[in-house]
Structure 1
């Protein structure tokens, strides 16, 4: 039995090692590529080089990367704040004001998750045209504010919140907004953290919808700028990899700063 256990443990460590290598290697390649020249990258060099300053200079002279980074930051922060506010309020309403009509409406919302976004792009584009929001950052933010997944996510967490506390607050004369922001929301910090990470990554990596509604270079986001770098006639892979590394830094900082809350939020947070 001891031999079998040792052999099984060895295979487990081998499997975990291979999985870790597959997960980490692409990012390692990006970091190494950001320090190498274009020829070194094409030749498959996997060690650090001395072309980092050259790649940084090329990226600074590329034009549009800094503007795209700021645009993406504005869009993502605005999207995260508004989405968390709207979806958490909607989940609170669906869970604490249950009626037959609201349950039917909630199920319709859940069914709408099966509709692919590509099928909604033309109607959404026509709405943005009528609102005169084409080529503006608001056109990128608005369609995703009512995230059905986040409404579902918040409602599942709210199910664990004691209704007796809410009833006591209502008897004391507290308004529903006061109850929500001062009583219900504070214990849901880990759920909010998990939802914030999800919303941040969704909008930060958004490509298809910005491609449809954004026209000028002054309004482009990072995904569009990186796509234009990689689709050029002559691709500077060192500059491109450095741009990708810089683009992933905000997501890495956000995830590691909220990692514990993210895990708690995914497993249920209301206490």
Structure 2
């Protein structure tokens, strides 16, 4: 009897914590169907203003849907190149033997301790040098300036190297004996066997790119090049913000990251645990 009471109390406690965790999102879902005055009044019931709030968002001069498209392009390109480059770097650090590789890898890990705000000004100056030249298309105020700093990170290289440690090295040696090239081993053997690791890396990279705010705020200066976080900031910065419209924009902005996580959540857990199949 005592064990049942204890188990029941645990479930009640966990249910209470779960409710507290998801309540902000529930409140957002309710808020996007109500007027601003109802949201300010703390109304906790669904209203009938969703279509009006959605129409206001689509007609707003902030250009939210264009920002959504920009964020999607940046996040997808960043994720693809980050997975290819970081996995290749992690694979090389673990598979190939070199006296200097551990020193280089240590320096790479030390770079994780440098805050982004410390390298933001050098990055700005570097990309600003392209403006006013034939290469201005890859300078400031372009998607290229947002994508490049994110396509290869020390954390992602470290993440792939740690997962490669559980990769059976006998497969690599056997493939070499059969005459398969190093690139062939990487693309035909390692990548298919490490799909869980790539799924976890894809989720991490996509979410980081989608939610990136500081660097796009500095590098993207034209309204038509805004990303979703910048558009949300503009919507919330007005003198009399439309909270109903803001709630709709937040829900729409959450859909891609939530969708990719729920689709790959099983592979994400296995990838984070270092599973290799």
TM-score of the superposition, structure 1-length normalised?
0.97
Which residue number in structure 2 is paired with residue 69 of structure 1? 68
Which residue number in structure 2 is paired with residue 35 of structure 1? 33
Deviations 1:149-176, CA, capped at 9 Å, x for gaps? 1111111111111112111211222111
Which residue number in structure 2 is paired with residue 121 of structure 1? 120
Which residue number in structure 1 is paired with residue 85 of structure 2? 86
In 2, Cα distance between equivalents of 1:12 and 1:112: 43
In 1, Cα distance between equivalents of 2:118 and 2:7: 48
How many residues were matched structurally? 269
In 2, Cα distance between equivalents of 1:130 and 1:52: 46
Provide structure 1 residue ranges, at least 5 long, that are not aligned to the other structure.
none
SS in 2 for 1:120: helix
Deviations 1:20-47, CA, capped at 9 Å, x for gaps? 1111111111111110011100000011
Match of 1:56 among 51, 54, 57: 54
Which residue number in structure 1 is paired with residue 165 of structure 2? 159
CA contact (8 A) 1:36 1:49 kept: yes
SS in 1 for 2:44: coil
Which residue number in structure 1 is paired with residue 135 of structure 2? none
In 1, Cα distance between equivalents of 2:9 and 2:101: 51
Which residue number in structure 2 is paired with residue 250 of structure 1? 256
Which residue number in structure 2 is paired with residue 206 of structure 1? 212
SS in 2 for 1:161: coil
Deviations 1:197-241, CA, capped at 9 Å, x for gaps? 000100000000000100011101000000001011110000000
Match of 1:26 among 1, 24, 27: 24
Structural RMSD (CA): 1.0
CA contact (8 A) 1:83 1:145 kept: yes
SS in 2 for 1:258: helix
SS in 2 for 1:185: helix
Which residue number in structure 2 is paired with residue 105 of structure 1? 104
CA contact (8 A) 1:187 1:269 kept: no
Which residue number in structure 2 is paired with residue 134 of structure 1? 140
In 2, Cα distance between equivalents of 1:22 and 1:123: 42
CA contact (8 A) 1:29 1:46 kept: yes
TM-score of the superposition, structure 2-length normalised?
0.95
Match of 1:261 among 252, 259, 267: 267
Moved over 2 A (4+): 5-8
2:184 is equivalent to residue 178 of structure 1: yes
Which residue number in structure 1 is paired with residue 14 of structure 2? 16
What is the correspondence of 1:222-237 to structure 2 with a 5 Å cutoff? 222-237=228-243
Which residue number in structure 1 is paired with residue 276 of structure 2? 270
